[in-house]
Amino acid sequence: MEGVKMILNFEKYQTPTLILLSLSTLLIIVLFPTALPFDAAWIAVILCGLPIIKDAAIGLITEFDVKADVLVSIALIASIFIGEIFAAAEIAVIMTIGAYLEELTVRKAQTGIEKLINLSPSTARKITTEGETVVPLEQVKKGDHLRVIAGETIPVDGEILVGQSSVNQALLTGEALPIDKAIGDDVYSGTINQYGTFEMIATKNEADSSLQKMIHLVQAADAESAPIVLTADKWATWIVFASLITALLTWFITKDIQRAVTILVVFCPCALVLATPTAVIAAVGNATKHGILIKSGESLEKLASVDRITFDKTGTLTYGEPKVVEFVSFTAECSKQELLKLAATVEYHSEHPLGKAITAEFNQAELSLHKVTNLQILPGRGLTALYQGKKIRLGNRKLLMETTFPQEETVNTWLAKHYTVIYIEIEEKLAGAIALTDTLRPETQTIIAKLQQQKTQPILLTGDSQLIAESIAEQIGIQEVYAEYLPEDKLNAIRNLQNNCYNVAMIGDGINDAPALKLADVGIAMGGVGSDIAIDAADIVLMQDELTELPYLLGLAKRTLKTIKINIILAMGLNLIAVVLATLGLIGPITGALVHNIGSVAVIIHSAILLRSPSEKNSPKTELKTEFD
């Protein structure tokens, strides 16, 4: 095992080690030219040059793939042929550095699918005429009778036959609140049975269940993502032919082989190779200061041209947790505040998310001092308890079926807004009600307005109901809304936008968003509340768990793309000047290598400007318009 770890560590540090050894060799040659009994430039040529030549030969022979490394290989061989070993070493080292920087910017974690698979339980409780047995999940078939106890993950899609419970369906819909389930209701694989035990009949085989479908969607979306293509490689074929023709013509006309080799040397796209990765790395460093993790340079380039941003609701535009928003008393015996405290005292002993939201309104230490007895939790309905000698019941209408509900305008308004309503009954008399809902992030409306100023249209994609989605969209200024969307629906919505020639970014936080995050041109995940699978599927992660930096991120992407374009123009312009000088015989191979390296240095310096955050000079509010738009 230790041997395997050593091999993996060697592979991880192999390229930077070769680069450091080669740079050290070149430094020794410059400072101490006679220190070694042989030309030390050969060390750099062997360490960095041979891998380039090998890869170029393999690509050219097996696939006739003409990339930048083909031209570099020609220049290397030609320089060695005429004895300009130092020039060959310079080219090899710079090209290796550029390739390594590019590799650093595009390396992504690919563990999301594995984590999805791990969400599926390995066994299920199967009920037969012989009793209950635990069987491997693969043996569960459509029509099997299963039992699921509290806290377990539902193994396959099915329908409840006996019992009732509350099920956390955030995996599929992203909804923050658990859903009450009773006889006849559908349940889905990968969702979590929070309270109560129920029996169900499997309506699908394990391979066809919702969780497996989710895995297939992520895999399919990943396959549709375009691989990154290096800027230098896009131009490589033309550069190779142009350099060869120019070198051959110069040799034919002047009969000077050194001029021809110099042309090949200065034609090497070293600065062009550095144009993209240096800008991207600088931008990634800048973004890190703002709590933004960018996984690939390609995503940053694509983000600059995004014109549609699709938002998940729960956990993205909202906090993803229920919160008490309003409460009312129906009796003169208790004020609103006293009633809420009573509910919190009883709910303190419950683990239900709605109960925790109510208790969060008060000091936890104080609540723990109150004695509550005969506590009974009724899954899917609520709870009952004795407090100060009085029978207290808290729950939904199912719990209080025999109770007469007043035609309270306030409660009807809550229900119309799709708030979750908890009723409070004292001694079999309805005393009040509490409204809970997921709450908007305070910065959301301002962020949406800024995105629209940047000519980017926001779109809401959510698994919540149409009424809730439209209410949220109206509050924050989003015009286009798609509600009650499952993962496959979100995937199709993004695909339709792309088919209509829109560049689409997706922002989400849940497992159900993973396929859409993968398929979108740019996937952005919320880092704090976001699931590991959503974070793995995304290209960019907002680590501060806020949307505040989103307009800044879009502006940074546009600056980065602009910097890359200037880098390319700068690199090609200097190369063109060097080619003219080499053709006229004004520079030789070593000077040509140094001149063309000036382009590389210029590109690096220009890219480094991206490291400076606009906020260092101006406030973010003013900078947003003046520097990014």
Catalytic residues: 312
What is the C-alpha to C-alpha distance for residues 186 and 126, in angstroms, rounded to an integer? 18
Residue pair 21/78 in contact by the 8 Å Cβ criterion = no
Residue pair 555/628 in contact by the 8 Å Cβ criterion = yes
Q: Which two tokens stand for residue 590?
A: 């070593």
Q: Edge to edge, what strands does the sheet with 382-387 contain?
A: 318-329, 429-440, 420-426, 390-395, 382-387, 372-378
DSSP letter string, 31-53: H-TTSSSS-THHHHIIIIIHHHH
According to DSSP, the β-strands at 372-378 and 198-202 are unpaired
Whole-angstrom CA distances from 154 to 51, 146, 147 are 52, 10, 9
What is the C-alpha to C-alpha distance for residues 129 and 428, in angstroms, rounded to an integer? 43
DSSP letter string, 280-295: HHHHHHHHHHTTEEE-
Amino acid (one-letter) located at 581: L
The residue whose two tokens read 């000047």 is 577
What is the C-alpha to C-alpha distance for residues 345 and 348, in angstroms, rounded to an integer? 5
Q: Which two tokens stand for residue 278?
A: 């240096």
Burial of 203 (0-12, 13-18, 19+ CB in 10 A): middle
Contacts with 618 (C-beta within 8 Å, 6 or more apart), sequence order = 626, 627
Q: Which two tokens stand for residue 366?
A: 């104080």
For 592, the enclosing helix (H) or strand (E) is helix 589-608
CA 587 to chain centre: 49
What is the C-alpha to C-alpha distance for residues 324 and 204, in angstroms, rounded to an integer? 38
